Structure 1
Amino acid sequence: MTETTGTWLTQEAYDRLQAEYDDLVNVGRAAIAKEIDERRQEGDLKENGGYHAARDEQAKMEARIEELRRKLANAHVGEVQFDGTIAAGTVVTASVMGREMRFLVGSREIAEGTDLDVFSAQSPLGAALIGLKAGETTSYQAPNGKEIAVEVISAEPFGG
């Protein structure tokens, strides 16, 4: 895996997303189809708020199914091989514009249940840090065009 392609996931996070995907595909779709059918039978669809709400819920669910399908198809599952270099799956403590921050470079899904902020390896900050080690400095361009200075204080593998 290159550090900026795919999504690195722990086995636990992968299993959790796979279970959510399976539930949505096998149970959720049938339940929402039944709900839509029941609302359709209530009469005039133009003024049937329950029908439109069920259709909106179906669209949200289908979007989540597609998001999960893509993440799971492009997932790189396993433990991080940590050599001190920042990569996806690394917890970083850094001074960003003089303010100390502690965050995970990786995926929101693996940090679920922790208090860590998450920056993807594709984000401006994450991309700037990939390949660096503690003590090194870099900068990145914020969306507003401002150049942001970053000093890596420490880096450690994500432990869950």
Structure 2
Amino acid sequence: MQRYPMTVQGAEALKAELNKLKSIDRPAVTAAIAEARAHGDLKENAEYHAAREQQGFIEGRIQDIEGKLSNAQIIDITQMANNGKVIFGATVDIENVDTGEEKTYQIVGDDEADFKVGKISVNSPIARGLVGKSEGDAVLIETPGGRVEYEVVAVRYE
């Protein structure tokens, strides 16, 4: 069985979503189906069909999350000694050598990645270029605009 890396925060977020789906969303859609069913003829009952579609989505998402959690290898970066190397879960400050622009990324699992908040997938080109590097190292990253050279400014295990 393949294990997928996930941060503690990522696992907690999935558990919270799963709990909400099971304790709030599932009962609400069940009630909506019962109410729509009470309106009579189901063939032309838009509320009933919408509620059934929502129920299918909720049940699918519950199965998806349970599958992800069962195959997750949860990595708690805070329990590891920081040796200055970029590893899964690390937060990395990098500086564009040409422009001086600084960026901060946390390397996370595929399901946790959210570029807008600086969380990049361990399988992304940037993360693949950074993993294994240390503070002070230069790294060439292939971007859509060409190769960009960055310097690893800081590596944090938080």
Taking structure 1 as the reference length, the TM-score comes to 0.71
In structure 2, what is the equivalent of residue 53 of structure 1?
A: 50
In structure 2, what is the equivalent of residue 101 of structure 1?
A: 103
In the alignment of these two chains, the number of paired residues is 149
Q: Gaps (5+ residues) in structure 2?
A: none
What displacement does 1:32 show? 1.7
Deviates more, 1:31-40 or 1:126-135: 31-40
Equivalent position amino acid for 2:153 in 1? I
Give, in whole Å, the separation in 1 of the partners of 2:45 and 2:123.
43
Give, in whole Å, the separation in 1 of the partners of 2:73 and 2:53.
28
Describe the shift of the 1:127–1:100 C-alpha distance in structure 2 as closer, same or farther (beyond 3 A). Answer: same
Backbone CA RMSD of aligned residues: 3.2
What displacement does 1:59 show? 3.1
- Contact between 1:102 and 1:116, CA under 8 Å: does it hold in 2? no
Q: Gaps (5+ residues) in structure 1?
A: none
Give, in whole Å, the separation in 2 of the partners of 1:125 and 1:70.
27
Structure showing greater radius of gyration is 2
In structure 2, what is the equivalent of residue 43 of structure 1?
A: 40
What displacement does 1:30 show? 3.5
Describe the shift of the 1:15–1:101 C-alpha distance in structure 2 as closer, same or farther (beyond 3 A). Answer: closer
Describe the shift of the 1:43–1:140 C-alpha distance in structure 2 as closer, same or farther (beyond 3 A). Answer: farther
Equivalent position amino acid for 1:120 in 2? S
- Contact between 1:135 and 1:153, CA under 8 Å: does it hold in 2? yes
In structure 1, what is the equivalent of residue 146 of structure 2?
A: 147
In structure 2, what is the equivalent of residue 18 of structure 1?
A: 15
Deviations along 1:59-78, one digit per CA (max 9) or x if unpaired, are 33234323321331213143
Taking structure 2 as the reference length, the TM-score comes to 0.71
Equivalent position amino acid for 1:91 in 2? T
What displacement does 1:83 show? 1.6
What secondary structure, in the 3-state scheme, does the structure 1 residue paired with 2:134 have?
coil
In structure 2, what is the equivalent of residue 157 of structure 1?
A: 157
Describe the shift of the 1:31–1:83 C-alpha distance in structure 2 as closer, same or farther (beyond 3 A). Answer: same
What displacement does 1:118 show? 0.6
What percent identity do the matched residue pairs reach?
26
1:129 aligns with 2:130: yes
Give, in whole Å, the separation in 2 of the partners of 1:147 and 1:18.
39
